[in-house]
């Protein structure tokens, strides 16, 4: 476990800092992590990541035992001391994702949501309990599968990429790698996750784990005669890494590409933001319900939109209303595997990034549609406004300020705060200073009377 890497990421969905061992606070985080996708608790650090006093392992072990006694059922953990550059030890408590639903001694059910441990409502508890009770299909052994069904080349490539993104100094044998990845069970039998990640021909034993891409001529699936109106149809098979790459390559071929000249520079602008498309593909592959047979991932490309449909409704307690803020994986081992492959930049941020990329490029927000048996992402290629050269280096708040300045001659700190009321004044001040430094804005006046205009 790399302490520097953990500190770089900061508190979030999979990481919490705890200044001192406290049984009740520890129990809350144990339950929240176990009910979600697991996580790590660093004891001996402030909530901002600042190093505090060294934690005595004996004291921590006693507090951890009390905390586990407050959990129903107890949460399994592992812990180790990590040495800092100054020689002080920080204790890292690893909490795995649990197949059971956990609550506190007072009946509360908590779930990790970003940087918080959020209590669930009765309806959310029922949804989460149903998801937990269904078991983890990805860890089930595949009848008739043997180690010969794995592609050695894919395993070798994955191992190399994992060494780059995984814990520093990790040295795992192939057997240990497969076991840690959930690719084989304790008896050494290949699992669903194993065949999907490393299989030579996963579709032979896991039907409809492939994908189909159809390019339609127009904005509807049929032509004027009512017949299928597609110009290209491709069935994509193989391990998940191969499916993602093949889908992306075909979509890139089918996308329209416009060329613009800015000064002396030539810029090519694809029909859709590449990062948004890749996120949508990876999301479909990572989170689909592989239990469902008779349906596969479908990618439909129309003249005005791109639709990515994955079998299976939203997992656990996730709804269309909380899909941006909340995170829960149906297939955590597959998600983790795709993270090590490099297809996922940071766990739990795929939907956020998809939205940001579309907005930054001037497109409408992605549209999400969910049924009990499918989840659809719709990306539209229309641009609601022309994307400026600055939008690639500005955040969403700064873009709001630019839009305001297009209608008004100037903007003040107070007016910027009215546009972003939930953001701290210091963050907004730094936003404006950044835009001045980039040469976008010009600051006029000093102190309270200062305002900004387009440069």
User: Among residues of the chain, what percentage have pLDDT more than 70?
Assistant: 89
pLDDT at residue number 328: 83
Q: Mean pLDDT in the chain?
A: 87
CA 96, chain centre distance (Å): 18
Identify the residue with better confidence: 53 or 102: 102
pLDDT at residue number 321: 84
Q: Does domain 211-380 have CATH number 3.30.930.10?
A: no
Q: What is the mean pLDDT of residues 113-141?
A: 86
Identify the residue with better confidence: 56 or 159: 159
pLDDT reading at 3 higher than 80:
no
Instruction: Give the tens place of pLDDT for each residue, 69-89.
Output: 999 999 999 988 877 666 667
Q: If one looks up domain 3-118 in CATH, what number appears?
A: 3.30.950.30
Q: Does domain 396-454 have CATH number 3.40.50.720?
A: no
Q: What is the mean pLDDT of residues 101-107?
A: 94
pLDDT at residue number 156: 95
Identify the residue with better confidence: 170 or 310: 310
pLDDT reading at 160 higher than 60:
yes
pLDDT reading at 263 higher than 60:
no
Phi, psi angle pair for 239, to nearest 5°? -70, 165
pLDDT at residue number 305: 96
Instruction: Give the tens place of pLDDT for each residue, 411-436.
Output: 998 899 888 887 788 888 888 988 88
Instruction: Give the tens place of pLDDT for each residue, 208-254.
Output: 999 999 999 889 888 767 676 789 999 999 999 999 999 999 999 99
Instruction: Give the tens place of pLDDT for each residue, 186-217.
Output: 999 999 999 999 999 999 999 999 999 999 98
Residue 168 pLDDT class (50, 70, 90 cuts): low
**For the chain, what are the domain ranges?**
3-118, 139-200, 211-380, 396-454
């Amino acid at each position: 476990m790399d302490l520097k890497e953990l500190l770089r990421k900061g508190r979030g969905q999979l990481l919490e800092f705890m200044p001192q061992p406290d049984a009740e606070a520890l129990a809350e985080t144990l339950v929240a992590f176990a009910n979600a996708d697991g996580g790590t608790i660093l004891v001996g650090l402030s909530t901002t990541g600042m190093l505090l006093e060294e934690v005595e392992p004996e004291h921590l072990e006693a507090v951890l035992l009390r905390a586990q006694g407050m959990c129903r059922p107890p949460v399994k953990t592992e812990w180790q001391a990590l040495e800092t550059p100054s020689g002080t030890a920080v204790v890292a408590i690893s909490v795995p994702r649990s197949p059971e639903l956990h609550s506190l001694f007072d009946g509360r059910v908590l779930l990790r949501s970003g940087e918080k441990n959020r209590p669930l409502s009765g309806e959310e508890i029922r949804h989460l309990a149903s998801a937990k009770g269904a078991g983890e299909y990805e860890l089930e052994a595949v009848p008739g599968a043997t180690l010969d069904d794995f592609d050695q080349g894919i395993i070798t490539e994955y191992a190399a990429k994992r060494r780059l993104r995984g814990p520093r100094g990790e040295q795992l044998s192939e057997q240990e790698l497969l076991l840690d990845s959930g690719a084989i069970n304790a008896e050494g039998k290949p699992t669903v996750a194993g065949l999907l990640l490393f299989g030579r021909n996963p579709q032979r034993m896991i039907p409809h784990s492939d994908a189909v891409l159809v390019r339609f001529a127009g904005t509807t699936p049929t032509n004027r005669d009512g017949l299928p109106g597609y110009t290209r149809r491709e069935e994509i098979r193989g391990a998940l890494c191969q499916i993602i790459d093949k889908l992306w390559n075909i979509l890139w071929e089918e996308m329209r590409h416009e060329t613009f000249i800015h000064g002396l520079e030539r810029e090519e602008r694809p029909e859709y933001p590449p990062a948004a498309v890749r996120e949508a593909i990876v999301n479909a592959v990572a989170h689909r319900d592989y239990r469902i047979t008779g349906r596969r991932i479908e990618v439909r490309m129309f003249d005005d939109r791109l639709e990515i449909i994955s079998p299976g409704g939203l997992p656990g307690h996730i709804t269309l209303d909380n899909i941006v803020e909340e995170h829960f994986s149906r297939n955590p081992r597959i998600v983790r595997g795709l993270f090590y492959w490099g297809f996922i930049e940071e766990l739990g941020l795929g939907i956020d990034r998809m939205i940001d990329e579309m907005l930054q490029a001037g497109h409408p927000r992605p549209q999400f549609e969910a049924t009990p048996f499918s989840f659809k992402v719709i990306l539209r290629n229309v641009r609601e406004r022309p994307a400026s050269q600055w939008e690639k280096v500005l955040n969403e708040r700064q873009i709001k300020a630019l839009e305001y300045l297009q209608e008004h001659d100037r903007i003040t700190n107070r007016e910027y705060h009215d546009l972003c009321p939930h953001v701290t004044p210091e963050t907004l001040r730094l936003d404006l200073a950044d835009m001045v430094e980039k040469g976008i804005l010009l600051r006029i006046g000093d102190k309270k009377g200062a305002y900004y205009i387009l440069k």
